[in-house]
C-alpha cells in the first residue's frame, strides 16, 4: 500500500461507522437479488407438479415481497452512499482549499492556477464518483458474483461448470482492460490540468492577447491541447468499444455451453426441470452483468487512484509557518533591513546585499527601473518569501520571530493590480475585516468628506460588482482598493502606485485618499507619480538588486545619475 492509500485509509477511517453501514447495505442488496431466480424456479416447478395453487400464490407473494424489499434497500443504499460521499467530498474540498491558500508564494510562482483548480474541482469530483457509484457498488458486485455462484452450484454442479468455461477468458479480458485504462487515465488527468491552466491564463490575459493580435497563435496552442485530450479520451472509448462486445460474446458462449449440456441430457432421456432451466438462464445473466460493471468501475477506480495521488501530493505540501511565536502588540512601524540578499529558483540574486532603515511614521518611496528589485524587496518585508540571507526587523525584532498571521495584520496593502471580489462594494470593503459595518463605512466617508467614493454607483454600497466585469474603470477599482486600506487602519502602509491614466476628478480623489491613508503611518511606496516621489521623506533608488542611492528628491537630483535619468523619464510621460 503506497503512501497516498495509507493516508486516505486513515482519512476515511473517521467515517468507519458509516462505511460499515454501507457495507451492510451492500451485503443485504447482494443477498436479496439472487433470491428472485430461485423463487421463480420454485414457482415454475410447483406449477408443473400440482394444480393446488395455494403454494404458488404464497411463492408469488414471497417474490413480490422480495422485490419490494430489494427496491427499498436499493433506495436506501443509493441515498446513503450519496450522502456519505458528499460529506467526505465537502470536507476534502475545504481541506484542499485551506491547504492552497496557506501555501508559500514560491509554489504559486511555479504552478499554474488551472492545475490548482483541477485539484479542487475535477480531482475531488472523481473521488465523489468513486464513493457514490463505485466503492460500495464494487462490494455489491463481488458479493453478488459469489452468491450467484453458490446458488448455481447448489442447483446443478455440471450445469454451473459448463456455464463457467468462459470465465477465465473474462478474467483475462477484464485485467487487460483495467491495465490499459490505468495508463490512459494518467494521461487524461495530466492533460486536463494543462488545459485548465491554459484557459485560466488566457482569460486573465485576454486584453494582452488582443493587443498583440495573438488570437490565432493561442488558438493553435489550445487546439493542440484539446487534440491531446481528444486522443486520450478516444483511446479510452476504443477500450470500451472492444471490451463490451467481447463480454457479450462471453455471455453468449456461456449460454450456448449451458444449452449444449441441456441438449445432451435431453438426448439421453434425462429429465429437465423447467424451473431449473429458467433459474439458470437468469443466473447466467446475473453472473456476468456485475463482471461487466466491475470492468467499468475499474475505469473509475483507475481515475480515482490518479486523483488520490495528486490530492495526496497537494495535501503533503509544506505550508507557510504559522506556528505560535511573538505577538505584535503596540506597533511603532520602524523597519530595518541588514545585508539582505535573495534569489528565486536560479542563483542570480534579485536582491543583493541591501541595507536600509525605514523610519516610523514617514513615507519611503522606492524607485528604479523594471527588474531592479523593488517589488521583491516589498514582498520580503511582507514575508511572502522566506529563505533569504540577512535580517529584517520590525521595531527591532526579527520578523521571523513574529507569528506570521499577526505580523501581516500590521500591514495594509494596495497593489497596482487591484483585487476585486464578485459581490457588493461593501463586501469588497469588508475584505479581511468583517467587523467593518455599513454604518461604519458611511460614517468614515462623511468624517473624511470622501463622498466622491460612491459617485457612479446607483445603489451605493449595495452596488453589485464583478471581479471580471469591465463596468468598473481602473480609477474606480483603485478608489475601492485605497478606501479598503483606509478602513483597515493599519500602522504600516504598502502601496504600489498605478501608472494608468485616469480622469482629473478621480486623480484628485485618489491623491486625497492616499494622503489620508499615509498620514502619520509608516508608508512604503513603489512610486510612479511625481507628487509621491517629491513629497517622500526619503527616496530609495534601486538598480539591479542593489540600493544605488538614498536621499530626498533635491539631494538625489544632484548626486544620483540613475535617479536623474529615472526622474526625466517620468517627466516625459
Does the residue 324 lie in any domain? Answer: no
Does the residue 372 lie in any domain? Answer: yes
Q: How far apart are CA 517 and CA 414, in angstroms?
A: 10
Please answer whether residues 104 and 320 qualify as being in contact, where contact means their C-beta atoms are separated by less than 8 angstroms: yes
Q: State mean pLDDT over 532-554.
A: 89
Tell whether 342 and 307 lie within a shared domain: no
Helix (H, G, I), strand (E, B) or coil at 392: strand
Does the residue 172 lie in any domain? Answer: yes
DSSP string of 174-243, one letter each residue? HHHHHHHHHHHHHHHHHHHHHHHHHHHHHHHTHHHHHHTT-HHHHHHHHHHHHHHHHHHHHHHHHHHHHH
Query: In CATH, what number is assigned to the domain containing residue 429?
Result: 3.40.50.300
Tell whether 405 and 274 lie within a shared domain: no
Tell whether 90 and 172 lie within a shared domain: yes
Please answer whether residues 201 and 112 qualify as being in contact, where contact means their C-beta atoms are separated by less than 8 angstroms: yes
Tell whether 163 and 206 lie within a shared domain: yes
Does the residue 354 lie in any domain? Answer: yes
Instruction: Single out the residue in 282, 315, 348 at which a domain terminates.
Output: 315
Tell whether 308 and 343 lie within a shared domain: no
pTM: 0.70
pLDDT of residue 394: 92
Eight-class DSSP state of 527? -
Give the model's confidence band at 304: pLDDT under 50 very low, under 70 low, under 90 confident, else very high.
Answer: confident
Tell whether 9 and 156 lie within a shared domain: yes
Give the total number of structural domains in the chain. Answer: 2
Does the residue 532 lie in any domain? Answer: yes
Least confident of 152-161, 479-488, 494-503: 494-503
Show the 3-state SS of 243-286.
HHHHHHHHHHHHHHHHHHHHHHHHHCCCCCCHHHHHHHHHHHHH
pLDDT of residue 377: 92
Q: State mean pLDDT over 530-557.
A: 88
Does the residue 326 lie in any domain? Answer: no
pLDDT of residue 410: 86
Instruction: Single out the residue in 266, 285, 315 at which a domain terminates.
Output: 315
Does the residue 322 lie in any domain? Answer: no
Query: In CATH, what number is assigned to the domain containing residue 202?
Result: 1.20.1560.10
Tell whether 18 and 151 lie within a shared domain: yes
Tell whether 238 and 343 lie within a shared domain: no
Helix (H, G, I), strand (E, B) or coil at 59: helix
Give the model's confidence band at 45: pLDDT under 50 very low, under 70 low, under 90 confident, else very high.
Answer: confident
Tell whether 218 and 360 lie within a shared domain: no
| Structural domain containing residue 94 | 3-315
Does the residue 432 lie in any domain? Answer: yes
Say if residue 159's pLDDT is above 90: no
pLDDT in tens, 307-316: 888 888 888 8
pLDDT in tens, 373-399: 898 999 999 988 888 899 999 998 899
pLDDT of residue 476: 80
Tell whether 370 and 510 lie within a shared domain: yes
Tell whether 466 and 513 lie within a shared domain: yes
Give the model's confidence band at 336: pLDDT under 50 very low, under 70 low, under 90 confident, else very high.
Answer: very high
Say if residue 433's pLDDT is above 80: no
Say if residue 210's pLDDT is above 90: no
Length of the chain: 573
Tell me the longest C-alpha to C-alpha distance in the chain.
121
Tell whether 101 and 213 lie within a shared domain: yes
Residue 522: Cβ-neighbour burial (10 angstroms; 0-12, 13-18, 19+): buried
pLDDT of residue 338: 94
pLDDT of residue 381: 92
Amino acid at each position: 500500500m503506497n503512501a497516498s492509500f495509507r493516508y486516505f485509509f486513515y482519512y476515511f477511517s473517521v467515517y468507519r461507522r458509516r462505511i460499515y453501514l454501507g457495507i451492510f447495505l451492500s451485503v443485504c442488496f447482494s443477498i436479496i437479488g439472487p433470491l428472485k431466480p430461485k423463487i421463480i424456479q420454485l414457482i415454475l416447478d410447483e406449477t408443473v407438479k400440482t394444480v393446488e395453487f395455494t403454494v404458488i400464490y404464497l411463492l408469488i407473494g414471497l417474490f413480490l415481497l422480495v422485490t419490494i424489499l430489494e427496491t427499498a434497500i436499493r433506495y436506501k443504499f443509493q441515498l446513503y452512499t450519496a450522502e456519505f460521499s458528499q460529506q467526505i467530498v465537502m470536507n476534502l474540498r475545504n481541506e484542499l482549499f485551506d491547504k492552497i491558500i496557506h501555501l508559500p508564494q514560491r509554489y504559486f510562482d511555479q504552478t499554474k492556477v488551472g492545475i490548482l483548480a483541477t485539484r479542487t474541482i475535477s480531482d475531488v469530483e472523481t473521488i465523489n464518483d468513486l464513493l457514490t457509484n463505485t466503492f460500495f457498488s464494487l462490494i455489491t458486485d463481488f458479493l453478488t458474483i459469489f452468491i450467484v455462484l453458490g446458488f448455481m452450484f447448489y442447483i446443478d454442479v455440471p450445469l454451473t461448470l459448463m456455464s463457467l468455461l468462459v470465465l477465465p477468458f473474462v478474467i483475462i479480458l477484464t485485467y487487460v482492460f483495467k491495465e490499459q485504462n490505468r495508463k490512459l487515465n494518467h494521461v487524461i488527468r495530466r492533460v486536463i490540468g494543462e488545459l485548465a491552466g491554459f484557459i485560466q491564463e488566457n482569460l486573465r490575459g485576454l486584453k494582452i492577447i488582443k493587443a498583440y493580435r495573438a488570437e490565432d497563435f493561442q488558438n493553435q496552442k489550445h487546439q493542440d491541447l484539446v487534440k491531446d485530450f481528444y486522443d486520450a479520451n478516444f483511446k479510452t472509448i476504443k477500450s470500451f468499444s472492444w471490451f463490451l462486445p467481447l463480454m457479450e460474446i462471453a455471455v453468449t458462449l456461456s449460454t450456448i455451453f449451458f444449452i449444449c449440456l441441456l441438449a445432451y441430457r435431453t438426448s439421453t432421456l434425462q429429465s429437465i426441470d423447467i424451473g431449473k432451466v429458467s433459474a439458470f438462464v437468469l443466473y447466467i445473466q446475473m453472473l456476468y452483468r456485475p463482471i461487466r460493471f466491475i470492468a467499468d468501475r475499474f475505469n473509475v477506480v483507475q481515475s480515482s487512484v490518479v486523483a488520490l495521488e495528486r490530492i495526496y501530493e497537494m495535501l503533503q505540501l509544506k505550508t507557510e509557518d504559522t506556528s505560535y511565536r511573538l505577538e505584535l502588540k503596540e506597533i511603532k512601524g520602524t523597519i530595518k533591513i541588514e545585508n539582505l540578499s535573495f534569489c528565486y529558483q536560479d542563483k542570480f540574486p534579485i536582491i543583493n546585499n541591501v541595507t536600509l532603515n525605514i523610519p516610523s511614521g514617514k513615507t519611503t518611496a522606492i524607485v528604479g527601473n523594471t527588474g531592479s528589485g523593488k517589488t521583491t524587496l516589498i514582498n520580503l518585508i511582507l514575508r511572502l518569501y522566506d529563505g533569504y540571507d540577512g535580517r529584517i526587523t520590525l521595531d527591532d525584532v526579527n520578523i521571523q520571530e513574529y507569528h506570521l498571521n499577526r505580523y501581516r495584520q500590521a500591514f495594509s496593502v494596495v497593489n497596482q493590480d487591484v483585487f476585486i471580489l464578485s459581490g457588493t462594494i461593501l463586501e469588497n470593503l469588508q475584505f479581511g475585516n468583517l467587523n467593518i459595518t455599513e454604518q461604519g463605512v458611511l460614517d468614515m466617508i462623511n468624517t473624511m468628506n470622501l463622498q466622491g467614493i460612491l459617485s457612479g454607483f446607483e445603489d451605493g454600497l449595495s452596488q453589485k460588482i464583478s471581479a471580471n466585469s469591465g463596468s468598473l474603470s481602473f480609477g474606480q477599482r483603485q478608489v475601492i482598493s485605497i478606501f479598503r486600506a483606509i478602513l483597515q487602519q493599519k500602522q504600516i502602509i504598502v502601496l504600489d502606485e498605478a501608472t494608468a491614466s485616469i480622469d482629473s476628478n478621480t486623480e484628485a480623489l485618489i491623491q486625497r485618499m492616499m494622503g489620508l491613508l499615509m498620514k502619520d503611518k509608516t508608508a512604503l511606496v513603489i512610486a510612479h507619480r511625481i507628487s509621491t516621489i517629491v513629497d517622500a521623506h526619503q527616496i530609495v533608488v534601486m538598480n539591479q538588486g542593489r540600493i544605488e542611492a538614498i536621499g530626498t528628491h533635491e539631494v538625489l537630483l544632484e548626486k544620483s545619475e540613475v535617479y536623474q535619468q529615472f526622474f526625466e523619464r517620468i517627466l516625459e510621460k
